[in-house]
Structure formats: structure tokens, C-alpha cells
């Protein structure tokens, strides 16, 4: 396994998704020893959670769009970073 494991919280969604895809590729190859597979699986789960958190935050931002009485978006509300 690679000795470099960047802090997951510091990764962008795209970087975390690429890292997760790499983990899946390694696990699917079947060429990883059992202990490394367990470590990879744990990292993959953390990456999945991070990606889901980022997606949830994006969804919350989208839902902040305010619709006018006719159902047409009339503006946006500022995204509160505390909602993440």
C-alpha cells in the first residue's frame, strides 16, 4: 500500500472520489494482502462518507434557492457554512 494517505477532510470531492475509485480498483484486483485489504476498506469507507458529506452540503446549497409565488426561482439565500 501507498505510505502517503492525505487527510481526507482536506480533499475536494473530486479528489476524494478519485481516491475512492483507486481503493475500489485495488480491492477488486484481488492482489492486495488481507491486512492491506482491511486497511483499504476502512479508508474507502471514510472516503465514501466524505464524498456523501460533500454531496449533502451541495444539496443543501441547492435547496436554499428561493422560489417566487409563481414557482420560478426568484433568488438565492446565502449558504450558511455551519450547515455542512
Does residue 36 form part of some domain? yes
What's residue 40's pLDDT?
97
If one counts the domains in the chain, the total is 1
Evaluated on CA atoms 41, 43, 46, 48, the torsion sign reads negative
Domain assignment present for 2? no
Q: What pLDDT score was predicted for residue 84?
A: 47
Select the more confidently predicted residue: 83 or 9. Answer: 9
CATH of the domain at 58: 1.10.287
How many H-runs (helices) and E-runs (strands) does the chain carry? Answer: 2, 2
Average pLDDT over residues 72-82: 64
Position 12 confidence tier, pLDDT thresholds 50, 70, 90:
very high
Flag whether 44 is in a domain.
yes
Cα end-to-end span (Å), the chain: 32
Question: What is the reported pTM?
Answer: 0.70
The pLDDT of residue 48 is above 70: yes
Mean pLDDT of the chain: 84
Distances (CA, A) of 27 to 7, 17, 46, 50: 21, 15, 15, 19
Residue 3 maps to a domain: no
The whole domain housing 14 covers 8-83
Amino acid at each position: 500500500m501507498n505510505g502517503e494517505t492525505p487527510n481526507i477532510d482536506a480533499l475536494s470531492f473530486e479528489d476524494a472520489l478519485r481516491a475512492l475509485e483507486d481503493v475500489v480498483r485495488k480491492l477488486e484486483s484481488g492482489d492486495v494482502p488481507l491486512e492491506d485489504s482491511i486497511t483499504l476498506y476502512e479508508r474507502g469507507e471514510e472516503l465514501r462518507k466524505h464524498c456523501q458529506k460533500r454531496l449533502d452540503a451541495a444539496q443543501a446549497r441547492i435547496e436554499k434557492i428561493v422560489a417566487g409565488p409563481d414557482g420560478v426561482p426568484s433568488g438565492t439565500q446565502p449558504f450558511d457554512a455551519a450547515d455542512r
